[in-house]
Amino acid sequence: MASDQDNTEWSTAVSVPPERIRNVCVLAHVDHGKTSLTDSLVSSNGIISSRLAGKVRYMDSRQDEQIRGITMKSSAISLSYSNPSSGIKYLVNVVDSPGHIDFTGEVETALRICDGAILVVDVVEGVCVQTVSVLRAALEYGIRPVLVLNKVDRLFVELRMDPMQAFHRIARTIEQVNVVMGLRMAQLMMLREQDPDSNVRDATEWTVDLEEEESGSGFFSPEKGNVIFCSAIDRWAFGLEYFADLYSKKFGLSKNVLTKTLWGDYYVLGKAKRIVRKRGLPEGKRKGAKPMFVQFVVENIWSVYDAFLGESASIDRQNRIVTQLSLQVHARDMNGKDRLSAFRAVMSAWLPVAPTILGAVVAKLPNPREAQVVRMPILWPYSVSEEDETFSAWQRMKEVLMRCDGSNKAPTIAFVTKMVSRERKDATAKISIPRPRDAGPISETRPSDEEPDTSSETIAIVRLFSGCIRPNDALFVYSPRFKTGSDVNYSSDVVIPKVCLLLGRDTAPIDRVDAGMVCGLYGLEDQVLKTAMLSSIPPDQFFPMLGVNRSAALSSTSLVRVAIEPHNALEMNRLQEGLRRLNQADPAVETYVMENGELVLAASGELHLERCLKDLREQYAKIRIEVSAPIVAFMETVAGLDTENRAGSCPFPCGKQVTVTTANQVLTVRLRAVGLPRKFGLELDQRAVRERTFISANRTVEEMDTQYSEIYDALLSDLEAEPWHKEKSTILTTLSHTIVDLGPRKFGSNLLLRNPLVEENIPLRRHALSNYIRFKASDYGEAQNDNVQQAKDLRHEGDSSILDVQDRVRQETAKGILTGFQLAVQAGPLCEEPMHGVGIILEEIIFDWDELPEQGISDKFGPFSGQVISCIREGCRLAFLSASPRLVEPMLRLDIQATSDALGSTYGVISKRRGTILSEDMREGSPLFFIEALLPVSESFGFTDILRKQTSGSAQPQMTFSHWE
């Protein structure tokens, strides 16, 4: 095993220029080989032996990761790479991320701090569900990817394809990825056209060259150098540039010409020494002609496979290949009995993985300075007018962020993407002293005030956008809820005791890190829960980033919940502290206390829950705990009534009209509940995360009013394209003019609708916008002072002496209606679960001014606004109950790969779990069947184990959240 020579060199370095830094994450579907690929990159720095690359899974430091063979936690490592032609040394920070759907939160922590991505795709399985999700998320974050087609060896070893068949399979896989890229680019460009000033304009800058490409050419293309062909397990990889350089020297042709023609529909006329397209070939030679990629690349690699692993393998052929390629291979490898080891030694000497991948990363992916110009408008979408008092502070932050300024004079601005807890290297193992049998178990006599556990340490994974960080630097810590100004509740001070480089399982201390780096910081465990901003800028001048927003492509719901309690009641404090630390270290987990005092742990899926419980028992709480059966999250909806039961003012199926009155009899409201079309609710759910981010809170109320209208128009336009639109045209016509608010959390699948007959002078929309500003300010910390002041002005408008009493009542009514609606849809009457796909219609609002108290709008029943909130909340619940209430459960989409022998058993297991088969397909050139099905989450526990047992491991499922049904 190699020494720490490289680590020491980087640790003693004062600074690394941003131009020589690359921050990349490795993205892929589960089992597509990203961790094995990362092993080869790690071995290039001597951290592990090259012989162990693909086997040791160095970045999977957890025991359960090694046992299951999948990555569960994102981990980072800093690697050194020297350009062979220029000799320039680069620092490449590689973040390995999980591919399993349960751990998408870990993927997002990697995307927030990286500028580029290595997208790994299994060339046999092609583009899978998670491939699409991670690629779309990378584009949302403005990240530029390179494509690595992995497991090319399977085409020869498993599928026994000839070179021509392999070429077509590779080309189809590239086309599949380009289709995903093209669809996402078209979507982003449409958003850019709708709002030219929005941040989505910059998200497409990396791919603007798509418009300039020839017809049929996509973003990923081997001749561009952004596609690598690879077999991580066999330790080889190459790009077209290598073979272009090889054959340019051999045949005396231009390297640039060969780079452009080695891929695609290009052929060689041997005698004429010309490169032509297929139509340029003589008619007699077109049939059976081999493209240059097949003739000069694939056939050569296949011949090496055949010489070592084929039926005609021989020592003479193997030695002749080594001699012809002038390779330096150890005699021990060539003379050994294991031909596979000899083959891998030859391939790694001929086409080494690390130089190929890292070379493409350095050449094709942006450095931090280039990337921040594109990514800052996405992560930091602020605009402040010159008249604003904070303009100078905003201007300075913008300049240093765009320049990635690492000078001593630049302010420090850094983002904490996650907190990592690990065992201390110098921790002393705790030894339990045996006790007499009659003394009882140690756990029963353990004092509740036991000394805190010091065997673990917490490291913050940080991306530095500006300035530098040294040990003992004093910085401000800004939580995700911080908003510009002197908000002491969401900011604190900290002194950084230690700075380190990330080396996978280990760390190396460093004296300083500069802008553009990814590093680890100690001493933040008491100040940071999950994410935070660090800066030397004081609170009254600091504008936080939006890095805490979740990507719409990776948004996941905590569908599985369990109640937990300590086996020994005296250890409750340790359990609570363990939950706090687990919540800090896991970006996707949720922990909270129920009204009855139960501690609840919520996770994204069964595997995620299993890992969280293991960590809680063995690492964070270190106690024995009792866990309840899984509790699945449900939602509440209404079915509505038949169309014959429509009321005169309700143009579509709805429940009975409900009348509610405030306690002081001043306000009477008539409500109805309606079940919205299923696809309408699904569309709202899918848009929720994006729209909450899209409506930036630094806009004025008037601008947001226009923005709301644009969102509704775009939403309805999308829905009009659906086949069911003709049947529901009256619904869409009504919705387009009466939407007042959405919920829960201000943009969900439930609508508050206003009957056109309701008084126009009740300012519902204006107060909805005011609530949205305050919602964004509290949840994301992105509201500006002027807009927060607008919200405050609206909130206190009712106290103005200018308004008469009736106007104040209308103001309080508007605020109360919106708040009551949000409270109602957040917890329905059936089982206090959120509502889904429900429309609440305000049929009529009646004021009895004679009942208005003489002393004002408050009386013995309390503030009028509180009366309205209670009244509307109760009215919404009653209307809901009158409209045929139903429970909806979450459904999972199953993507199963199974052999033909396992199809019967697979269908049997799915049907027993209330599953529904959607499709069955056999991919060309593959012996596997691909099955799509739906499965209720409540039936998913233990499904994977039972399916593998019933099919003897021949069926492999992948579960993703689909919808509510």
| CATH code, domain with 317 | 3.90.1430.10
Nearest to 134 by CA among 105, 113, 170: 105
752 compared with 52, residue with greater pLDDT = 752
**Residue 286 is assigned to a structural domain of this protein:** yes
734, 585: one domain:
no
Question: Which run of H or E residues covers position 353?
Answer: helix 353-364
860 and 713 share a domain?
A: yes
Q: Provide the pLDDT confidence category of residue 735 given band limits of 50, 70 and 90.
A: low
Residue 783 has pLDDT above 90, yes or no: no
What residue type is 247 in one-letter code?
Answer: Y
Which residues, including other chains, have CB under 8 Å from residue 883's CB and lie 6 or more apart?
638, 639, 640, 641, 654, 655, 656, 672, 673, 674, 675
**Which of 13-17, 362-366, 396-400, 811-815 comes out lowest in average pLDDT?**
13-17
**What contacts 717, CB < 8 A, 6 or more positions away?**
none
Tell me what pLDDT residue 632 has: 82
For residues 717 and 435, the model is more confident at: 717
Cβ contacts of 313 within 8 Å, gap of 6 or more = 306, 307, 339
The reply to whether 599 and 733 lie within a common domain is no
Within-domain flag for 164: no
Q: Which amino acid makes up residue 86?
A: S
Residue 546 within any structural domain of the chain: no
| Residue ending a domain, choose from 331, 351, 371 | 351
pLDDT at position 361 is 94
- Of the candidates 152, 157, 167, the one whose C-alpha atom is nearest the C-alpha of residue 231 is 152
Report d(CA 198, CA 751) in Å as an integer.
Answer: 26
DSSP for residue 298: I
- Which of 887, 921, 951 is the C-terminal boundary of a domain? 887
Are residues 679 and 755 part of one domain?
Answer: yes
CA distance 751 to 748: 8
- For the record, the structure tokens of 176 come out as 């599949």
Task: Decide if pLDDT at 22 tops 90.
Answer: yes
* Half-sphere exposure for 435 (CA within 13 Å, toward CB): 11
Q: Looking at the domain assignment, is residue 314 inside a domain?
A: yes
> In this structure, what DSSP letter does residue 859 have?
B
Over range 553-571, report the average pLDDT. Answer: 80
User: Of the residues 351, 372, 391, which one is the last residue of a structural domain?
Assistant: 351
Residue 686 has pLDDT above 90, yes or no: no
944 occurs within a structural domain: yes
Radius of gyration of the chain (CA): 31
pLDDT at res. 315: 86
Same domain, yes or no, for 587 and 691?
Answer: no
Same domain, 800 and 943: no
Residue 561 in contact with residue 593, Cβ under 8 Å? no
Can you read off the two tokens belonging to residue 568?
A: 């020994």
3-state SS class at 220: coil
Question: What Å distances lie between residue 92 and 49, 115, 464, 502, CA to CA?
Answer: 19, 11, 15, 11
Residue 201 has what pLDDT? 42
Confidence of residue 191 (pLDDT cuts 50, 70, 90): low
In this structure, the answer to whether residues 674 and 739 fall within a common structural domain is: yes
Whether residue 767 has pLDDT greater than 60:
no
In the three-class reduction of DSSP (H, G, I as helix; E, B as strand; rest coil), residue 625 is classed as strand
- Domain of 608: which CATH number? 3.30.70.870
> Picking from 70-84, 569-583, 886-900, 914-928, which range would have the lowest pLDDT averaged per residue?
914-928
pLDDT of residue 413: 93
Burial class (CB in 10 A: 0-12, 13-18, 19+), 960: middle
Please answer whether residues 526 and 465 qualify as being in contact, where contact means their C-beta atoms are separated by less than 8 angstroms. no
Buried b (16+ CB within 10 A) or exposed e, 857-894: bebeeeebbbbbbbbbbbbbbbbbbbbbbeebbbbbbb
Across 78-87, 273-282, 421-430, 897-906, least confident range: 421-430
Exposure string of 549-571, with b = 16+ CB inside 10 Å and e = fewer, is bbbbbbbbbbbbbbbbbbebebb
CB-based contacts of 287: which residues, under 8 Å, 6+ apart?
none
Does residue 596 share a domain with residue 716? no
- Report if pTM > 0.85: no
pLDDT in tens, 268-324: 876 667 788 877 777 767 777 888 899 999 999 999 998 888 887 888 888 888 888
Q: Which domain CATH number covers 937? A: 3.30.70.240
Over residues 52-80, the mean pLDDT reads 78
Does residue 959 contact residue 894 with C-beta atoms inside 8 Å?
yes
- Residue 724 to residue 199: CA distance in whole angstroms: 33
Q: Are residues 882 and 895 in the same domain?
A: no
Query: Is residue 384's pLDDT more than 80?
Result: no
SS3 label, residue 572 = helix
Sheet holding 658-661, edge to edge: 658-661, 667-675, 838-847, 750-754, 739-743
Residues 882 and 827 in one domain: yes
Q: What is the CATH number of the domain that holds 679?
A: 3.30.230.10
Domain count, the chain: 4
Per-residue confidence (pLDDT) for residue 857, from 0 to 100? 63
Q: What is the mean pLDDT of residues 99-114?
A: 83
Q: What is the pLDDT of residue 69?
A: 72
**What CA–CA distance (Å, rounded) separates 111 from 531?**
14
Is 778 a member of any domain?
yes
When mean pLDDT is compared across 524-538, 544-558, 622-636, 902-916, the lowest value belongs to: 544-558
* Residue 815 near residue 767 (C-beta atoms within 8 A): yes
The pair of structure tokens assigned to 417 is: 């993407």
Measured in degrees and rounded to the nearest 5, phi and psi for residue 469 equal: -130, 130
Of the listed ranges 69-78, 641-650, 852-861, the one predicted with least confidence: 641-650
Clarify whether residues 896 and 840 are in a common domain. no
Highest mean pLDDT among 66-75, 224-233, 860-869: 224-233
**Does any domain span residue 644?**
yes
Helix and strand numbers (H, E) in the chain are 31, 35
What is the Cα–Cα distance from 447 to 413, expressed in whole angstroms?
44
Among 660, 637, 643, 642, CA closest to 842: 660
Residues 614 and 679 in one domain: no
Q: Tell me the average pLDDT of the chain.
A: 78
- Furthest C-alpha separation in the chain: 107
The DSSP result for 869-908, as a single string, is HHHHHHHHHHHHHTS-EEEE-EEEEEEEEE-GGGHHHHHH
Q: How confident is the model at residue 465 (pLDDT cuts 50, 70, 90)?
A: very high
Q: CB neighbours of 752 closer than 8 A, spacing ≥ 6? A: 739, 740, 741, 742, 743, 817, 818, 821, 839, 840, 842
Q: What are phi and psi of 853, to 5 degrees?
A: -60, 145
Query: Averaged over 599-620, what is the pLDDT?
Result: 87
- Residue 710 vs residue 441, higher pLDDT: 710
Residue 956's domain spans which residues?
A: 889-964
Answer whether residue 386 shows pLDDT above 60.
yes
Q: Is residue 118 part of a domain?
A: no
Q: Is 339 left (phi over 0), alpha (psi -120 to 50) or beta?
A: alpha
Tell me the per-residue pLDDT of 563-574, one tens digit each, with 9 for 90 and over.
999 998 899 999
Least confident among 105-119, 333-347, 477-491, 833-847: 477-491
Q: State how far the Cα of 750 lies from the Cα of 745, in Å rounded to an integer.
A: 10
CA pair distance 964, 452, nearest whole angstrom? 43
**Residue 268: beta bridge partners?**
275
- Higher per-residue confidence, 384 vs 152: 152
Residue 886 confidence (pLDDT) above 80: yes
